[in-house]
Amino acid sequence: MKAEEQTQTRSIPGWQRVLNALALPVLALFSALVLSAIFILGSDPVVLTAFSQFFSAPGNAVVVAGKAIADAYGALFIGALGDPAKVSKELGEFFATGDTNDLAFAFYPLSESFVTATPYIFAGLAVALGFKCGLFNIGAEGQIYVGAATAAFVGYSLEGLPWFVHLPLTFLAGALAGAVWAGIPGFLKAKTGAHEVINTMMMNYVAFNLAHYLLNGPMKRGGAAGAIPISRNILESAYLPTLFPEPIRFHAGFILALLVAALVWWFLFKTTLGFEIRTVGANPRAAQYAGISVPRNMVIAMAVSGALAAMAGASEVMGVNHNLAEGFSPGYGFDSIALAMLGGGHPLGVVLAALLFGTLRNGATKMQSLAEIPIDIVAIVQAFVIMFVAAPAIIRWVYRLKTEGGITTVLVRGWGG
Amino acid sequence: MPPVLVLDGITKRFPGVLANDHIHLTLEQGEIHALLGENGAGKTTLMNILYGLYHPDEGKVVVRGNAVKIDTPHEAIRLGIGMVHQHFMLVPVFTVTENVMLGEETLKNGIFLDRAAVAARIREISEQYGLQVDPDAYIKDLSVGAQQRVEILKILYRKADILILDEPTAVLTPQEVDDLFKVIRGLVARGVSVIFISHKLKEVMTIANRITVLRDGRVVGTTRPAETSPTALARMMVGREVILTVDKKPAQPGAVVLDVKDLQVLDDRKQLKVNGVSFEVRAGEILGIAGVQGNGQTELVEGLTGLRAIAGGQTHILGNDTTRATAREILQTGVAHVPEDRQRDGLVLSFPVADNLVLNTYYLAPFATGVQMHDRAVFASAEELVQQFDIRTPGIHTLASSLSGGNQQKVIVAREFARPIKLLIASQPTRGLDVGSIEYIHQRLVEKRDQGCAVLLVSPELDEILSLSDRIAVMYRGKIMDTLPADQATPEKLGLLMAGVHPEG
């Protein structure tokens, strides 16, 4: 009997399995947007006034509420992806006359979404790779700072190098620093069993304060007398090249991020090291049984994870800011935890989730200025997405999704691990 | 007199599985009714329905002539139905009395536990039913058999008279099984009715008044021990002819493959669990290690396979000192290991079958060169092994978690046996498997022996040890009590050794 049933589950075509895999994150996002709408309503004085007169004019309240939500999400959309009318007008002009004057402006919002998505891809890959080894690296934010500080230092201090030496050197120096930084909690976990959640979190504080110290001391622009805590600018030979004219900031870091994502996929799924890391993550006892060293793989996974997170910092320094400043990361490392969960811990999923997060964060700025909705709404959307992804049973129940035959994917084993 | 319990047309569906298909079962007053079936036949689902843990999709439960709806275990107890689970539900640091009153505390003066009253009642019940239990003993100090009596006592204390015993003999020594059977007969004589769940044919033939066999969620038939035989029951359970005895030629032992001298191994709590064990296993023979679970067998196997540090003594495999060797080094000397818990140690359930088949060879040619793995080689080998070892799976990309227990074990056997091996360490290789799979695994073990492999078989199942081993060593509290040639070993002798008693003479 069992064989027949299994054949049936197996006969589900590939595209349908892809759809199944996408259903949960998409529905989670949708639900998060719906729930966040309540907060949009709550933060809009016009809506609140309309609802205070709900019983005299219920129709009006509903209309006002609908408009508030449409305005907010409309602004979010335009801010993130561009104004469709403007894009089509400029595209039309370009094809008719070859006029490129305002074309860049039409595509500016979209390009900014890619710019914001870039650090998210790196940091999301970092957290996802940790997940695969059963490790919860919540220190990505600190690793970003360490990577950025190292890249900034190498970027401005090594003079006279040709770009094809200086650029990779700067990027890899940042990555290496992140590897060492995250390798420490990895080593502590492997040798003493100290929980990586605690130690990566503590390493965050060390990293933040180290950056604070550096920017107010050794790395401060203009020395101790400098006006603001910001480092010198890196040399142009360490710039990640921008690919479009001003004001578009889109830089090669995005393409690099996609390449790294492909590399991580290959590493995880096509190499013996990846096999070991995934085995340790999925069942450490079976790994041990198979002669795979659990401690060694934990250290490796944490180091690689740290390197990936640090790449986010290096890429921001080399492609966007060209210096190190306090608070340059609006929490990419923390968001990336959610993002990696939303992406199901898979490199492709991470890229998609990073694009989404980049879009949301970028659009939020526009939403704030156009619809006067606080930027925090996006944080709320993200928080809801995380909660729904972390508690898939809710989504399955609300949308009556069938549970798939096998076991549910557990990304992290949590505190007991 | 009407039956005390009738299950009428019980049907329970789980997504994709019909766990119970119109099951009909009657339990008469004072009867021992055995429910026999392989794992996955639907026994546990049926009992969970009866105990209020699941709700049937169709059918009804009739207790003493009244149709009832059982929503919770509490409700079941109220109706007089009690269940002893395979894994005991006792608090080790509480006394018998405290455990018995747990959830149904008797109070004095409104706030204080009335332990004395409960203890008195326990003494009364244990006298009445012949259950020897000291109400003041701590559970952790009791033998497994005594703990089981406490579980039964808990049910009687709650005035239940329909007793469900789920695989009650799994954790007992043969002598303890005899004691349990005496207790059950005593209960029945006093009007208690018992449902006895098991997959062991011999036991069922000994204890049951009637036997109902389940297969694939359906009742295959109900019979009486006098009207049937173990072979006939096995056929009902599996649905085909089953060979219950293992056919094997006398062993032809060769050179020593595994040599263990004065081995000491600690457990996770740094307690000495293997305390000076010495033995050797020769090529072409099966050495069986018998013993009740928890007497150091797990630590012994982990020590031998490099999964646990050895605290003292030496191990040699094929003349190489492996005392300090890592698990991988030991694997590479030609050792295959079928671990005691296949899901915990032997498989990565969230990996496909193909990956599990290369779990310890993924880094070797042809599966990898350098760090690059070759999917094509992995898949080709997997397809071949699935064929060769008759692993029933929809495909090599199916997750190991969706295979049945027997097929999961076949994945491990295929992986371990496909390599050129000199020593096979098999720990409880048939635990939780159905009769058909047991037959298969046993044949493969003997086959390996006949090919000149040294086999160390560790199992708490006496029948398994007796039917496969050429020599039998009995472990008790970390030591080997004695080693007997198979033809001198009887269940009685082994049973005494398992309990730590040297049979005189």
The DSSP-derived string for B71-90 is -SHHHHHHTTEEEE-SS---
Chain A residues close to B392, C-beta within 8 Å: 2-3
Nearest to A272 among B16, B373, B404 (CB): B373
Chain B CB within 8 Å of residue A17 CB: no
Spell out which chain B residues touch chain A, with contact meaning CB-CB distance below 8 angstroms: 15-17, 40, 216, 305-307, 326-329, 331, 337, 339, 344-351, 355, 359-360, 362-363, 368, 371-373, 375, 392-395, 398-399, 401-402, 404
Residue B214 banded pLDDT, cuts 50, 70, 90: very high
Chain B CB within 8 Å of residue A270 CB: yes
Chain B CB within 8 Å of residue A9 CB: yes
Question: Which of A131, A133, A263, A275 should one mutate to test binding to chain B, selecting the residue with the greatest count of B CBs within 10 A?
Answer: A275
Q: Mean pLDDT of all residues in chain B? A: 91
Residue A322 domain flag: yes
Which one-letter DSSP state was computed for residue B105?
-
C-alpha dist (Å) from residue A374 to A106, A383, B278: 24, 15, 74
Say how many domains are in chain A.
Answer: 1
C-alpha dist (Å) from residue B185 to B36, B77, B163: 19, 21, 12
Residue of A nearest to B398 (CA): A10
Residue A161 domain flag: yes
Nearest to B401 among A286, A288, A407 (CB): A407
Q: Name the amino acid, one letter, at B432.
A: G
Q: Which two tokens stand for residue B212?
A: 């109902």
Report, as an integer, the average pLDDT of A399-416.
49
Owning domain of residue A177: 118-354
Residue A243 domain flag: yes
Domain B245-334+422-505 belongs to what topology?
Answer: Rossmann fold (3.40.50)
Chain A residues close to B401, C-beta within 8 Å: 406-407
Chain B CB within 8 Å of residue A39 CB: no
Q: Name the amino acid, one letter, at A283.
A: N
Alpha carbon distance B115, B98 (integer Å): 7
Q: How many residue contacts between A and B have a Cβ separation below 8 Å? A: 95
Instruction: Confirm if A156 and A235 have CB atoms less than 8 A apart.
Output: yes
pLDDT in tens, A215-270: 998 898 887 777 788 999 999 999 999 988 878 899 999 999 999 999 999 999 99
Chain A residues close to B373, C-beta within 8 Å: 270-272, 275
- Dihedral angle of Cα B176, B177, B181, B187, to the nearest 10 degrees: 60
Other C-beta atoms within 10 Å of B140: how many? 11
Q: Name the amino acid, one letter, at B257.
A: V
Chain B CB within 8 Å of residue A96 CB: no
The phi and psi torsions of B387 (rounded to 5 degrees) equal: -65, -55
Residue A410 domain flag: no
Class of domain B5-238: alpha beta
Task: Give the per-residue pLDDT at A412.
Answer: 46
Do the Cβ atoms of B345 and A5 come within 8 Å? no
Do the Cβ atoms of B344 and A285 come within 8 Å? yes
Q: What is the pTM of this model?
A: 0.81
Residue A27 domain flag: no
Which residues in chain B are classed under CATH 3.40.50.300? Answer: 5-238, 245-334+422-505
ipTM of this model? 0.83
Do the Cβ atoms of B368 and A282 come within 8 Å? no
pLDDT in tens, A290-345: 999 999 999 999 999 999 999 999 999 999 999 999 889 989 999 999 889 888 88
Q: What percent of chain A has pLDDT over 90?
A: 51
Is the pLDDT at B44 greater than 50? The verdict is: yes
Do the Cβ atoms of B16 and A9 come within 8 Å? yes
Min Cα distance A400 → chain B (Å) is 14
